[in-house]
């Protein structure tokens, strides 16, 4: 009898150990559209490293850069279907889910990333949870940086852009921004930008130095104008049901890691953009145009009417708060 129960106990122990060993780690697929040597690319890799170090065997993070799993247009749908668990779309790509996030695309709204930080730590914070009814949860904001214009023509003043075709992200605000200077915006996914510029489907675009350099846009654009006229920032998002279904200890460790990664990404973003700019200078492919204060004022004046157009959708108070974050 004793022998039999010992044998049973032994078998039960082995069975339980086997189960524990066989328990698969939670797989978090993190897809994005940019290269790895960009602020977002680096952030995704750091998140993977820390998550796998601190939750060994429990969590596995698979990072898919360069639209290799899902590109613009498909990635949100994939998140909602559970085919991918984390994304960090640029804030320009949320308008179908929330109108308020459009605030980040208003031209000449933020003077620098410090102002963006102040806004995101205050009124901007609530936007992270503004899409929960659609099962999308924002975990953090990551910076890329301020946008510069590029074209195959020298752009010193808004009138130089008249009639040119500019690639824009899927954003109504950005469409209006180019219409305001009498240029023609064309929505195009990020993965298509190089070819679009090369074949002349579009004549110019706007982006950060790190996105330009890592996509080799300088090979197909003769001119860059250092306009700092807008922002490329990201919201790291997850599927709310997936996130809330995680074991509380796993979720809180991942939240802690996300907070640490966010500090790191936001600290490094500006330096990454400056070194990308230097690489473009060194490549001698293109001319970089610096604007005089008077020229920059002309761009600002031409683009600012866009604010009024979106005031109703975004909210005048939110715009006022963002503008006040410059002080």
Where does this chain bind ligand LMR (CB under 6 A)?
A: 33-34, 90, 144, 169, 190, 207, 211, 232
Q: How far is the CB of 39 from ligand LMR (least distance, A)?
A: 9
Name the β-bridge partners of 289.
Answer: 225
DSSP string, 131-154: TGGGTEEEEEEEEEEE-EEEESS-
Task: Return the number of the residue (62 or 192) whose C-beta is nearest ligand LMR.
Answer: 192
φ/ψ of residue 120, rounded to 5 = -70, -30
CB environment 55-78: b (16+ within 10 A), e (fewer): beebbbbebbbbbebbbbeebbeb
User: Nearest residue by C-beta to ligand LMR?
Assistant: 90
Q: How far is the CB of 150 from ligand LMR (least distance, A)?
A: 11
Query: 106 in helix, strand or coil?
Result: coil
Tell me the C-alpha distance between 307 and 288, whole Å: 28
Q: Which of 12, 34, 299 is nearest to 149 (CA)?
A: 299
Q: How far is the CB of 217 from ligand LMR (least distance, A)?
A: 10
Task: Return the number of the residue (207 or 225) whose C-beta is nearest ligand LMR.
Answer: 207
Task: Return the number of the residue (33 or 44) whose C-beta is nearest ligand LMR.
Answer: 33
Q: How far is the CB of 169 from ligand LMR (least distance, A)?
A: 5
Task: Return the number of the residue (120 or 211) whose C-beta is nearest ligand LMR.
Answer: 211
Q: How far is the CB of 10 from ligand LMR (least distance, A)?
A: 55
Task: Return the number of the residue (211 or 218) whose C-beta is nearest ligand LMR.
Answer: 211
H/E run at residue 213: helix 209-214
Task: Return the number of the residue (85 or 207) whose C-beta is nearest ligand LMR.
Answer: 207
Name the β-bridge partners of 184.
Answer: 165
Q: Which of 130, 108, 127 is nearest to 119 (CA)?
A: 127
Q: Classify residue 103 as exposed, middle or buried by CB count within 10 Å of its CB (0-12, 13-18, 19+).
A: buried
The pairing of strands 165-168 and 148-151 is: unpaired
Q: Which of 32, 86, 107 is nearest to 307 (CA)?
A: 107
Task: Return the number of the residue (232 or 269) whose C-beta is nearest ligand LMR.
Answer: 232
Q: How far is the CB of 288 from ligand LMR (least distance, A)?
A: 19
Q: How far is the CB of 174 from ligand LMR (least distance, A)?
A: 10
Task: Return the number of the residue (148 or 207) whose C-beta is nearest ligand LMR.
Answer: 207
Tell me the C-alpha distance between 151 and 321, whole Å: 33
Q: How far is the CB of 167 from ligand LMR (least distance, A)?
A: 8
């Amino acid at each position: 009898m004793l022998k039999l129960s010992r044998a049973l106990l032994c078998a039960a122990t082995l069975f339980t150990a086997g189960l524990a060993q066989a328990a698969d780690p939670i797989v978090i697929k993190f897809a994005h559209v940019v290269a790895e040597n960009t602020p977002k690319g680096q952030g995704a890799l750091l998140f993977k490293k820390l998550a796998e170090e601190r939750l060994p065997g429990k969590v596995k993070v698979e990072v898919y850069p360069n639209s290799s799993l899902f590109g613009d247009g498909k990635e949100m749908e994939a998140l909602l279907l559970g085919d991918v668990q984390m994304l960090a779309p640029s804030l320009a790509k949320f308008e179908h889910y929330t109108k308020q996030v459009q605030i980040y695309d208003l031209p000449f709204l933020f003077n620098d990333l410090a102002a963006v930080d102040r806004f995101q730590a205050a009124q901007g914070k609530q936007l992270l949870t503004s899409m929960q009814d659609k099962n999308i949860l924002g975990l953090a904001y990551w910076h890329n940086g301020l946008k510069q214009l590029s074209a195959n023509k020298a752009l010193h003043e808004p009138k130089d852009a008249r009639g040119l075709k500019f690639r824009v992200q899927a954003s109504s605000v950005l469409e209006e921004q180019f219409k305001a200077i009498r240029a023609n915006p064309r929505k195009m996914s990020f993965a298509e930008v190089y070819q679009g510029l090369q074949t002349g489907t579009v004549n110019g675009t706007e982006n950060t130095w790190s996105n330009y350099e890592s996509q080799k846009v300088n090979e197909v654009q003769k001119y860059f104008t250092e306009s700092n006229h807008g922002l490329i920032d990201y919201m790291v998002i997850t599927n709310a049901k997936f996130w809330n279904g995680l074991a509380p200890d796993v979720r809180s460790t991942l939240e802690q890691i996300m907070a640490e990664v966010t500090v790191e990404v936001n600290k490094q973003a500006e330096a990454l953009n400056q070194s990308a700019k230097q690489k473009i200078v060194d490549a001698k492919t293109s001319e970089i145009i610096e604007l005089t204060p008077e020229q920059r004022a002309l761009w600002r004046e031409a683009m600012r009417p866009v604010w009024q157009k979106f005031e109703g959708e975004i909210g005048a108070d939110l715009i006022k708060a963002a503008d006040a974050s410059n002080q």
